[in-house]
């Protein structure tokens, strides 16, 4: 999904259900996509994603949670970036062309629920935001895996123009599975027309109920479903963002601050010549806390899927 869901809608749900760290939760949710090698910058200057950062005679190793470059062809990136953060293996219940795939993502799967349950129990807003991103993606990325395999091919082999891209995730479908307002076609399925609004509303409902159970605050889902359906059914990204802002204002809640992917990085890191170095108080920064939380989810996904 896009920023209208991962940041703005997650912020709204977090605020309505009384979570004090709503902004940190929402920013962590969106930052999963922006914590990649293609959009990394320090003080508005492009920089390579740091493999390691020198620290106290040793090094700190950050973890990448998205890849938007040719590095996606690397099986390591597929297994250790895409799978644990965007394509959580599901319950192996989907049959495509007479086959099953244990790595195929299914909406609200047991593994995804464990991630969210553990994150909420931790009371760590960074972990909660990261888990919410992955949980939401089980709806938008359903029936795909994070690996390079024929399972992910949605076009017949003779449609060379559309099937030429590597079958990693939903690459053949382009960006359509992530755009709430889009409908698209998945030729692998009996019900080929995919209506993203329906998937997004289901995801919103499950997220809302989980967040309310944790906080014990806010109206029940049945009482806000109509308002949130109106947001999901908005014309496009901008209209959806405006409807989210309107809902918060009407509820007497603060609107989401403007999102910046660079703020956390700039407060944590600096340059010394060509080297990326830590700023003072590095271990207290949001960027560091996000990476520690991402490592916790990474380890949990590896444990949950160790039999695959």
Strands 41-42, 193-195: pairing kind? unpaired
Tell me the pTM: 0.97
Could you give the CA distance from residue 218 to residue 269 in angstroms, rounded to a whole number?
A: 38
Task: Please write the tens of the pLDDT for every residue from 2-16.
Answer: 999 999 999 999 999
Q: Please tell me the predicted confidence (pLDDT) of residue 158.
A: 53
Q: Please tell me the predicted confidence (pLDDT) of residue 164.
A: 73
221 exposure class (CB count in 10 Å sphere: 0-12, 13-18, 19+):
middle
Q: CA dist 249 to 111, 253, 286, Å?
A: 35, 6, 27
Overall average pLDDT of the 33-42 stretch: 89
SS3 of 237, please?
helix
Please check the confidence at residue 284 and state whether its pLDDT lies above 90: yes
Could you give the CA distance from residue 74 to residue 76 in angstroms, rounded to a whole number?
A: 5
Domain boundaries, the chain: 3-304
Contact 106, 90 (CB under 8 A): yes
Location of structure tokens 């520690």: 292
Q: Please tell me the predicted confidence (pLDDT) of residue 140.
A: 98
Task: Please write the tens of the pLDDT for every residue from 92-149.
Answer: 999 999 999 999 999 999 999 999 999 999 999 999 999 999 999 999 999 999 999 9
With CA atoms as reference, report the closest residue to 113 among 217, 207, 13.
207
Overall average pLDDT of the 240-260 stretch: 97
First to last CA, the chain: 26
Contact 140, 177 (CB under 8 A): yes
SS3 of 252, please?
coil
Instruction: Please give the backbone phi and psi of residue 290, each rounded to the nearest 5 degrees, phi first.
Output: -60, -45
Which tokens is 59 given? 């090094």
Task: Please write the tens of the pLDDT for every residue from 265-278.
Answer: 999 999 988 899 99
Could you give the CA distance from residue 122 to residue 179 in angstroms, rounded to a whole number?
A: 31
Overall average pLDDT of the 5-30 stretch: 98
Please check the confidence at residue 58 and state whether its pLDDT lies above 90: no
């Amino acid at each position: 999904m896009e920023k209208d869901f991962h940041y703005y809608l997650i912020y709204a749900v977090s605020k309505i259900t009384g979570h004090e760290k709503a902004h940190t939760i929402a920013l962590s949710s969106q930052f999963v996509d922006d914590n990649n090698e293609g959009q990394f910058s320090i003080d508005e200057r492009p920089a390579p994603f740091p493999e390691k950062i020198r620290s106290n005679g040793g090094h700190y190793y950050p973890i990448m949670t998205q890849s938007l470059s040719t590095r996606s062809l690397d099986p390591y990136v597929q297994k250790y970036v895409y799978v644990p953060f965007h394509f959580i293996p599901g319950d192996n219940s989907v049959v495509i062309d007479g086959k099953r795939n244990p790595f195929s993502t299914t909406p609200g799967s047991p593994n995804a629920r464990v991630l969210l349950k553990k994150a909420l129990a931790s009371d760590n807003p960074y972990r909660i935001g990261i888990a919410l991103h992955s949980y939401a993606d089980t709806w938008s990325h359903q029936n795909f895996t994070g690996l390079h395999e024929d399972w992910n091919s949605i076009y017949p082999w003779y449609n060379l123009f559309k099937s030429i891209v590597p079958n990693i995730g939903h690459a053949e479908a382009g960006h359509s599975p992530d755009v709430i307002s889009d409908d698209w076609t998945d030729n692998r399925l009996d019900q080929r027309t995919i209506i993203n609004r329906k998937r997004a509303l289901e995801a919103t409902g499950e997220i809302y109920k989980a967040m309310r159970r944790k906080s014990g605050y806010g109206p029940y889902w049945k009482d806000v479903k109509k308002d949130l359906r109106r947001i999901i059914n908005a014309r496009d990204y901008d209209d959806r963002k405006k409807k989210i802002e309107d809902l918060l204002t009407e509820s007497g809640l603060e609107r989401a601050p403007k999102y910046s992917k660079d703020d956390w990085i700039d407060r944590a890191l600096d340059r010394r010549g060509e080297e990326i170095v830590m700023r003072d108080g590095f271990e207290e920064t949001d960027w560091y806390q996000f990476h520690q939380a991402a490592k916790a989810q990474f380890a949990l996904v590896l444990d949950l899927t160790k039999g695959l």
